[in-house]
């Protein structure tokens, strides 16, 4: 059973979930039509429920969280979340409010001719191609709803929100991963004395392997296949570079780096040669 706190528009309601004893947002076609404050009702299966769970948002009531936010952006963010779930699988629906807030601010920036540069845009496109594809579709949805075409830098930020929801992690953690990967790519370029083509298949394959490796180091997961001796013997230059990078990774992530990671990274670096 739900109790109406505030009707956002015909398709959105801020409610109090009486069973779970928490505030939530319900989105669905016509759910807000005719509803009154304090009215109690049951939701149907077509209605989407989103909980306000962000640690900063929890300090405030739902009304404060949504204060000043155009409900249309909330509804739009809900459609984007559902699109991402359909195409990518399980997704934490509680990225709804941060995503809606970002879209609203991004549209306002574009309408005022303010371009927010995203220094990680190219890295995000390579590292998270599935999330970036959804973000491109989201841009079309945003343009249709607001008449505003977001720049590609904003698309990158939306892809990060989707990634955070997909991995059930904080947006800051997703951004840190991108930053770490970018730094490693620069270290590889400097160590090899060559510029990598970010649009090449080899680069994308390297970054995919690197993302997997960094995630395992960050999460403390073991690397079962030991290629350390093979890489050190056959590719000494690449192995030495991999050692330097893994030392830096351990310091940056504050995690121990298993010896096996060096061999794996050395082999992937050698392939780039």
Residue 259 — φ and ψ, nearest 5°? Answer: -55, -35
pLDDT at 55: 45
- Segment 202-212 mean pLDDT: 86
pLDDT at 250: 92
Structural domain contains residue 135: yes
Which band of pLDDT confidence, cut at 50, 70 and 90, is reported for residue 117? confident
Residue 100 pLDDT more than 70? yes
- Residue 90 and residue 1 share a domain: no
pLDDT at 68: 66
Structural domain contains residue 61: no
Model confidence pTM above 0.75: no
- Residue 165 and residue 74 share a domain: yes
Domain that holds residue 135: 68-169
CA pair distance 3, 19, nearest whole angstrom: 10
- Residue 183 and residue 263 share a domain: yes
- Segment 96-107 mean pLDDT: 90
pLDDT at 77: 92
Q: The CATH number of the domain where 35 resides is what?
A: 2.30.24.10
- Residue 176 and residue 265 share a domain: yes
Closest CA to 216 of 256, 184, 178: 256
Helices 259-272 and 201-219, interaxial angle, to 10°?
Answer: 170
**Domains of the chain: total:** 3
Q: Would you call 35 helix, strand, or coil by DSSP?
A: coil
pLDDT tens sequence across 231-251: 899 999 999 999 999 999 999
Q: The CATH number of the domain where 255 resides is what?
A: 1.10.1790.10
Alpha-carbon radius of gyration of the chain: 22
Residue scoring higher pLDDT (23 or 155): 155
């Amino acid at each position: 059973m739900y109790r109406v706190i505030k009707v956002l528009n015909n398709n959105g309601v801020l409610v109090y979930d009486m069973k779970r004893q928490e505030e939530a947002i319900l989105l669905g076609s016509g759910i807000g039509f005719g509803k009154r404050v304090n009215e109690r009702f049951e939701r149907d299966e077509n209605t989407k429920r989103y909980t306000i769970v962000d640690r900063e948002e929890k300090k405030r009531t739902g009304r404060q969280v949504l204060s000043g936010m155009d409900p249309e952006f909330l509804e739009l963010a809900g459609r984007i979340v559902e699109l991402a779930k359909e195409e990518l699988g399980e997704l934490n629906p509680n990225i709804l409010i941060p995503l809606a807030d970002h879209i609203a601010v991004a549209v306002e920036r574009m309408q005022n001719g303010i371009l927010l540069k995203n220094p990680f845009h190219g890295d995000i496109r390579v590292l998270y191609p599935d999330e970036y594809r959804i973000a491109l579709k989201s841009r079309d949805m945003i343009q249709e709803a607001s008449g505003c075409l977001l720049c590609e830098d904003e698309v990158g930020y939306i892809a990060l929100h989707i990634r955070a929801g997909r991995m059930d992690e904080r947006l800051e953690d997703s951004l840190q991963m991108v930053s770490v990967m970018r730094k490693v790519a620069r270290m590889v370029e400097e160590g090899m004395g060559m510029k990598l083509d970010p649009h090449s298949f080899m680069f994308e394959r390297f970054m995919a392997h690197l993302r997997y490796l960094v995630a395992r180091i960050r999460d403390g997961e073991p690397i079962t296949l030991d290629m350390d001796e093979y890489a050190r013997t056959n590719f000494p230059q690449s192995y030495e570079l991999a050692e330097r990078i893994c030392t830096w990774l351990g310091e940056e992530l504050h995690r121990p780096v298993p010896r096996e990671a060096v061999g794996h990274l050395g082999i992937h670096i050698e392939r780039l040669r």
